[in-house]
Amino acid sequence: MKNEIFLRNLFQAFYQESQKDIPAVSMLDRREFGFLLWDNKFMQRHLGFAEIEDLRQFLIQKSPMHAYSSGSLYRQPDNDDMENKGYQGCDFVIDIDVDHFYTGCKNDHDLWYCKECGTNGRGMIEKCPNCEKLKITRVAWICENCLNIAKKEIIKLIDNFLIPDFAVNLDQINIAFSGHRGYHLKIEDPRIRTLTSDQRREIVDYLTGHNISFEILGLHEKASIFGLIKDNQGWSNKIMTKLEEILRMEPLEIEHFLRDPNWGDLNSARISSLLKYREEFLEVINSKQQNIWSIEGFGLTTWKKLLRAVVKKVGAEIDEPVSIDIHRLIRYPGTLHGKTGFKVQELDYDQLDEFNPLNESNELIDPIVFESKKQITQKLEITDLKVPATKIKGITYGDYEWGEKIEVPHHVAVFLLCKGVAKII
Q: Are 89 and 187 in contact (CB under 8 A)?
A: no
- Stretch of 97-105, 186-194, 244-252, 347-355 contacting other proteins, by CB under 8 A: 186-194
How far apart, in whole angstroms, are the C-alpha atoms of residue 230 and residue 249? 18
> If DSSP codes are grouped into helix, strand and coil, which group holds residue 401?
strand
Count of helices and strands (H, E) across the chain: 13, 22
Subset of 232-261 contacting other proteins (CB under 8 A): 232-236
- Contact between 213 and other proteins by CB under 8 A: the answer reads yes
Residue 200 Cβ, how far from other proteins at the closest point, in Å? 9
- The answer to whether residues 37 and 44 touch, using CB atoms and an 8 Å cutoff, is yes
| Identified binder of other proteins from the candidate list 217, 240, 358, 421, rule CB under 8 A | 217
Q: Does residue 199 touch other proteins according to CB under 8 A?
A: yes
Q: Which residues pair with 261 in a beta bridge?
A: none
212 binds other proteins (CB under 8 A): yes
| Residues contacting 213, CB < 8 A, separation 6+ | none
Q: Does 125 bind other proteins (CB under 8 A)?
A: no
209 binds other proteins (CB under 8 A): yes
Which residue's CB is nearer to other proteins, number 243 or number 258?
243
Nearer to other proteins, 66 or 238 (CB): 238
Whether omega for the bond prior to residue 399 falls within 30 degrees of 0, making it cis, is yes
- From the list 202-210, 271-279, 298-306, 401-409, the region that binds other proteins by CB under 8 A is 202-210
- From residue 159 to residue 178, the character string flagging contacts with other proteins as x (rule: CB under 8 A) and all else as - is -----xxxx-----------
Which x/- pattern over 286-315 shows residues binding other proteins (rule: CB under 8 A)? --xxxx------------------------
Q: Which is nearer to other proteins, 10 or 203 (CB)?
A: 203
Nearer to other proteins, 217 or 417 (CB): 217
Specify the residue, 164 or 420, whose C-beta has the smaller distance to other proteins: 164
Rounded (10°) CA dihedral 143, 149, 152, 157: -120
Long-range contacts formed by 70-73: CB under 8 A, 24+ apart: 70/31, 70/32, 70/33, 70/34, 70/327, 70/328, 70/329, 70/330, 71/186, 71/326, 71/328, 71/329, 71/330, 72/31, 72/32, 72/326, 72/327, 73/27, 73/30, 73/31, 73/193
The reply to whether 195 sits near other proteins by the rule CB under 8 A is yes
- Tell me how far apart the alpha carbons of residues 59 and 18 are, in angstroms, rounded to a whole number: 11
> How large is the angle between the packed helices 268-276 and 278-285, nearest 10 degrees?
60
Instruction: Pick between residue 26 and residue 169 the one whose CB is nearest to other proteins.
Output: 169
Among 36, 52, 124, 229, binds other proteins (CB under 8 A): 229
Given the complex with other proteins, which of 80 and 354 has the nearer CB atom?
Answer: 80
Rule CB under 8 A: is residue 144 a binding residue for other proteins?
no
Of 210 and 278, nearer to other proteins (C-beta) is: 210
**Burial class of 54 by CB neighbour count within 10 A (0 to 12, 13 to 18, 19+):** middle
Judged by the rule CB under 8 A, the positions of this chain that interact with other proteins are 133-135, 164-167, 191-192, 194-199, 201-203, 205-206, 209-213, 216-218, 222, 226, 229, 231-236, 288-291
